[in-house]
Structure 1
Amino acid sequence: MAAVSAENRGLRLAARYAVLVLVAIIFVFPLLFMAMSSLKPDQQLLADTDSLRAFLPVGDISFDNYVAAFERAPIGVFVFNSVLVTGITVVLTIIVCSLAAFAFVFLHWTGRGIIFSILLATLIIPYETIFIPLLLMASQLPWIGTQGLEIGWLNTYRVQIIPFIADGLSIFLFVQFFKDLPRELIEASRVEGASWWFVYRRIVMPLSGPVIATAAILKFLFMYNQYLWPLMVVQAEEIRPVMVGLGYFTDQLNVPWGEVMAYLTVITIPVLAFYLSLQRVFIASVASTGVKG
């Protein structure tokens, strides 16, 4: 019986890994096709689409499409702008939303239930419905910069960052995670004289690796893929993000498919790098944040 049970477990494990490999292949193939196509001239690219050669580095392989794409548009500037805006927004979102969630979960103050309910209600409001009021507000808001008082935030980095720092979904994720943390640990720290800031910084946040990684990935994907809002508030090429830059790139006449694939490959690299790095952080956090009684 033990041998049969072990054999069944082995078959189930093999079937599970087979399914995982199949799912991985489904997700990897488009990326592989994009990367391989970016190395081929258009004629070969189109000829290879009806065979497995489309996924292989065979034929006339070169980096000519990348050179031509970078000459056609300042792709490096677009990628830098998106990485900068997205990175700053992710960091500020983690700080602001975790502090808000900490106040909702651990601090007792009048009206927190009502305010949290209103916050949850904002999750059903599409961002697109508030873009016009935000645009009107951003065009009139003052800002004290290096040249003194300025009116209007258009064509700046701040107009792409500040409106998206705090969001209901990130706060909700932190609230739900903080509720599952052991209250005994928090209460013991308070009895020992720890301040709320110490509890947040040295106890709660070090235990919150999984939710930090989750919120960061969701915010990164949302910000990096932003198109409509930057299209409305940014006209200057030097601060244009990648998605608006992609529209500008493809709007030009007779852009070869190889150059388009090269552009897509370049702008995909930061997403993969960010996801893989946070996946490692997520796994390490799950393995190291257990609290024993």
Structure 2
Amino acid sequence: MTATVPTAGAVPAAGAVRAARVVPVPTRAGKRARSRRATVGVLVLRVLLALVFALPLLFLFVSSLKPDLRIFADLGSWRAFLPVGPLTLENYAGVFERVPFARFLLNSVGIAAVTVVLGLVVNSMAAFALSRLRWRGQQLVLTAIIATLIVPFETLALPLVWWVNKLPWLELNGFSLALTSGWLDTYRVQILPFVANAFSIYLFYQYFSSIPKDLDEAARMDGAGWFSIYRRVIMPLSGPAIATVAILTFLPAWNSYLWPLMVVQTEDLRPVMVGIQYFFQLNVSWGQIMAYASMITLPVLALFLAFQRSFISSIASSGVKG
């Protein structure tokens, strides 16, 4: 029995082997087309998300220019988001006639600004001690600070009112100092209890921990103390964290409503958020409410737009490190 050896030029019979699959090679034009489609898809998604967040603000600002009857008449259509119909600034004029808005605004700006400045100093120094120094009980203290984040403020409000009513204070009485008791109905009761913040300390702690500690050693070799390292080395490198903590401290101070309502009775000491209750007494004017809300929203938007890049950078870096 003889074996048949196929020659080099022999062609396989039909069906003996499967046909080779042709794999298309992507061309440069196809890659560009897919890239453009992906870019357009991302752009459309961003526009939709922007509309979701912007439409309530647009409704707020547009409604502040309309009379009450027009606001309710436009609620069932897209006209509610468009500056159409009779537009007027009477709502804004009515705000100043109904409440001492300038005084409320000045109070809120002062309270928020002082709270932010003191909060940056106190929280950054606490975070510096937790992240750069080494001392016994360090991790226990950090854990206790973070644990306070789960406690809602409403559970602490009433005990805190009792404590601030017992705290002493030095007041200038003529040319002498007098020791008084109680912080109620003052500016300090709206500022000092909220200077130290657990989340701000933790955010600074995370950011400081990402800075190489070789810088500390180099500074100490040059004769710098810990406070000089904090002031001249760490803080100048922590711009994003500072901007983020400033925003996160400013927002609660600006939006504070429950606490001033509990501890402040004098109208000249009230912040802007407490002033909104004036519009729900007697005749309710929704146009004036929208105008008032628009004016107290603009400072927050301006602050966020000014520091948005630093805010996003700090949150992103802290999330990666954490």
Q: Structure 1: where are the runs of 5+ without partners?
A: 287-293
Q: How does 1:40-79 map to 2 (within 5 A)?
A: 40-79=66-105
Match for residue 83 of structure 1? 109
Match for residue 218 of structure 1? 248
- What is the percentage of aligned positions where both structures have the same residue? 50
| CA distance in 2: counterparts of 1:283 and 1:228, whole angstroms | 29
The counterpart of 2:166, out of the listed 136, 140, 165, is 140
The counterpart of 2:263, out of the listed 214, 229, 233, is 233
| CA distance in 1: counterparts of 2:302 and 2:266, whole angstroms | 27
- Structure number with larger C-alpha Rg: 2
Q: Structure 2: where are the runs of 5+ without partners?
A: 1-26, 316-322
Q: How does 1:1-293 map to 2 (within 5 A)?
A: 1-147=27-173, 148-247=178-277, 249-282=278-311
| CA distance in 2: counterparts of 1:164 and 1:176, whole angstroms | 21
Residues 90 and 165, structure 1, Cα contact 8 Å, conserved in 2: yes
Structure 1 21/78 Cα, relative in aligned 2: closer, same or farther at 3 Å?
Answer: same
CA deviation profile, 1:61-118 (whole Å, cap 9, x unmatched) = 1110111121011122212211211111111111111100000111112221211111
Match for residue 289 of structure 1? none
| CA distance in 2: counterparts of 1:57 and 1:184, whole angstroms | 58
Q: Which residue type is aligned with residue 59 of structure 2?
A: F
Residues 207 and 285, structure 1, Cα contact 8 Å, conserved in 2: no
| CA distance in 1: counterparts of 2:129 and 2:157, whole angstroms | 29
Q: Point out 4+ residue stretches in structure 1 off by more than 4 angstroms.
A: 280-286
| CA distance in 2: counterparts of 1:283 and 1:171, whole angstroms | 18
CA deviation profile, 1:19-69 (whole Å, cap 9, x unmatched) = 112111111111111111111111112112222222222221111011112
Match for residue 290 of structure 1? none
TM-score normalised per structure 2? 0.83
| CA distance in 1: counterparts of 2:30 and 2:252, whole angstroms | 49
Helix, strand or coil at the partner of 2:233: helix
CA deviation profile, 1:228-260 (whole Å, cap 9, x unmatched) = 11111001110111221112x133111211111
| CA distance in 2: counterparts of 1:10 and 1:195, whole angstroms | 55
TM-score normalised per structure 1? 0.91
Higher relative contact order (CA 8 A, sep 6+): 1
User: 1:283 Cα deviation (Å)?
Assistant: 7.1
Calculate the aligned-residue CA RMSD, in Å.
Answer: 1.8
Residues 62 and 82, structure 2, Cα contact 8 Å, conserved in 1: yes
| CA distance in 2: counterparts of 1:270 and 1:130, whole angstroms | 29
Q: Which residue type is aligned with residue 239 of structure 1?
A: L
Choose 162-171 or 190-199, whichever is displaced more. 190-199
| CA distance in 2: counterparts of 1:57 and 1:242, whole angstroms | 26
Q: Which residue type is aligned with residue 34 of structure 2?
A: N
Q: Which residue type is aligned with residue 205 of structure 1?
A: M
